[in-house]
Structure 1
Amino acid sequence: MTIRMLKTLIAVAEHGTFSAAADSVFITHAAVSQQMKALEEEWNLALFDRSKRTPELTSLGAAIVAKAREVVHAYDNLVPSVTCGDWLNGELTLGAVPTTLTGLVPSSVGMLKREHADLHVRVVPGLATDLISQVERGALDAAIVTRPHVVQAKHAWRDIAVEPLVLLASVESESEDPVYLLETNPFIRYSRQAIVGGIIEDWLQKHGIKVSESMELGNLESIGSMVLANLGVSIVPRSCVSAPNPLPVRWISLGPSAPTRQLSLVSRADSVKVRVFEALHERLQRAVTVGSFSPVHQFGKPN
């Protein structure tokens, strides 16, 4: 057994087939098959049910994968754990919810890269629930997400900003009453698969506001474009860092009872990359203080 074999086993579990796993770990399908057979022979265990066209993990195989993740995580953090994770270099794999990708993420990561050129940051977009799951299993180092109501002790949370949810309406809208606009216009819903989508739905139900749903989207830019075209109204987070060239739409307060979302940086509590997370968190807070992302003002003109 080698660490490479364990990483291949984990890849099979995550990607579902030997072929997809082979692509992810940059070896051939045949090599994946050989490694899996070698593990089964060494441990004298049936890791896969090969009676089906596509081999599937047995219940025992799934349990082995869970332990394999722990072993690989410990191996990958062997040297950083000795050096106390005190090096701002190498790679940081960062997840981020879509609403942060045009303002908060480029602003803060740009600051971090400008001050620590040897640190490579790979950004992975996704919904909060999935990103938290990827952090938990070690596929991501950290993620910028909407903080859920219930958090687990195995996660470390660093709060970034509280963002109010507001009504997004066309400039052609004449009323300032958010409830009236919601009940008399098609409603462009923020995806209910996102945590913030659930917050919006809870607020609508709590206040008995009935909407006529016309579409459900998971991207703030696409929602804004639909609103700009006067195809309806929406409820979205008011970004803590505004993007360059915002769309010409109206942002209307939902009033004193307006819902909010807590934007946070989540990582594993046992991660040794504490220094990197703290450095990133400091830049995230700095970006929020500035409040807007302007590449020319923040980083200067390109050479």
Structure 2
Amino acid sequence: MSIRMLRTLIAVDEHKTFSAAAEAVHVTHAAVSQQMRALEDEWQITLFDRAKRTPALTPMGRAIVAKAREVVRAYDNIVPSVISADALQGDISLGAVPTTLTGLVPVAMSRLKHAFPELHVQVHPGLTTPLMSQIERGTLDVALVSRPPVIPPAFDYRHIADEPLQLLAAKGTTCDDPLELLASRPFIRFNRDAVVGQMIEGWLQGKGIRVQESMELDGLEAISSMVYANLGVSIVPSSCVPPHNPIPIERIPLGSDAPVRQLGLVYRRDSLRLRVLEEIETVLLDSAGTDMPGPERHQTGGA
């Protein structure tokens, strides 16, 4: 067995076929097949059900893949784990929900780059659930997400900021009653696949509000642009770090019982790059305008 073979096994799981895995790890289809046979012979187990046209991982194979990810992750972190605390360097991958990409993330990453010029952060946008799946698979180191209802036991969650939800309306809107506006104007919905979208839907249902849905989007800039064009109203988080050139629209509070989106940093508890993750947490807290612990900062596991 070798790390190379384990990477190939993980690639087969991620890409579903030997051919796609071969392309991902830059070997031939025959080499992938040979490596998988070698692992089966060495371990004396069946990793793949070859009765199907496309070989599929057996239950034992899936369990082995999960352990293989842990081994490869530990191997990849051997050097970073022993680097001096004063010499943060190398690459780290940060996932981020799209609502943070025009305010909080660029401000925080600029501060991080200034403090640690040899540390290179690769930013990957995505929704909360897919980002957390990528952390689980080891393709991301850390992610800035909307706090999900359940945090996997293997994850740490660090609270960064609270963002109350607010109503967006076209510039010059004279009515400041969000319930009246939602009842009378077309509604531009925040993507329901996102945690924020689910929060909004729950609030609307709890208030008994039936909206006239006109479209469903997942980017603050896109939603704000539609509102600016007077195509409807929307509900979005009130960004803790507004963009430098905000679109001129009305931002109306939903009231004292408005839902609050919690932004937090998530990563695997067994990560060997905790020193880097602590620095990312620090710059995010500073950029969000708070260096005090939030209500759920340093929460681990559970929900």
Give TM-score scaled by structure 2 length: 0.89
Unaligned runs of 5+ in 1: 291-303
What displacement does 1:30 show?
A: 3.3
AA paired with 1:112? L
What displacement does 1:116 show?
A: 1.0
Name 1:93's counterpart in structure 2: 93
Name 2:60's counterpart in structure 1: 60
Report how many aligned residue pairs link the two structures. Answer: 290
Name 2:51's counterpart in structure 1: 51
What displacement does 1:86 show?
A: 6.4
Return the alpha-carbon distance in structure 2 between the equivalents of residues 248 and 200 of structure 1.
23
Look up the SS of the partner of 2:264 in the other structure. strand
Return the alpha-carbon distance in structure 1 between the equivalents of residues 138 and 85 of structure 2.
16
Name 1:287's counterpart in structure 2: 287
Name 1:143's counterpart in structure 2: 143
- 1:32-76 per-residue CA deviation (whole Å, 9 max, x = no partner) reads 233222222333333222333322212221121112112212222
Which 10-residue stretch deviates more, 215-224 or 232-241?
A: 215-224
Return the alpha-carbon distance in structure 2 between the equivalents of residues 274 and 236 of structure 1.
32
AA paired with 1:244? H
Return the alpha-carbon distance in structure 2 between the equivalents of residues 127 and 85 of structure 1.
31
Give TM-score scaled by structure 1 length: 0.89
Name 1:189's counterpart in structure 2: 189
- 1:133-174 per-residue CA deviation (whole Å, 9 max, x = no partner) reads 222332211100011233233211221110111001111533
Unaligned runs of 5+ in 2: 291-303
- 1:212-259 per-residue CA deviation (whole Å, 9 max, x = no partner) reads 212111111211122122111110011111112211211111011111
Look up the SS of the partner of 1:282 in the other structure. helix
Work out the percentage of aligned pairs sharing the same amino acid. Answer: 60
Return the alpha-carbon distance in structure 2 between the equivalents of residues 24 and 281 of structure 1.
32
Return the alpha-carbon distance in structure 1 between the equivalents of residues 229 and 23 of structure 2.
42
Across the aligned residues of Structure 1 and Structure 2, the Cα RMSD in angstroms comes to 1.9
Q: Is the 8 A contact 2:172 2:250 kept in 1?
A: no
Q: Is the 8 A contact 1:86 1:275 kept in 2?
A: no
Q: Is the 8 A contact 2:74 2:272 kept in 1?
A: no
Return the alpha-carbon distance in structure 2 between the equivalents of residues 248 and 180 of structure 1.
21
Residues 10-29 of structure 1 mapped to structure 2, 5 A cutoff = 10-29=10-29
Name 2:203's counterpart in structure 1: 203
Residues 34-183 of structure 1 mapped to structure 2, 5 A cutoff = 34-82=34-82, 87-183=87-183
Which 10-residue stretch deviates more, 211-220 or 73-82?
A: 73-82
Cα 1:270–1:6 shift into 2, 3 Å: same
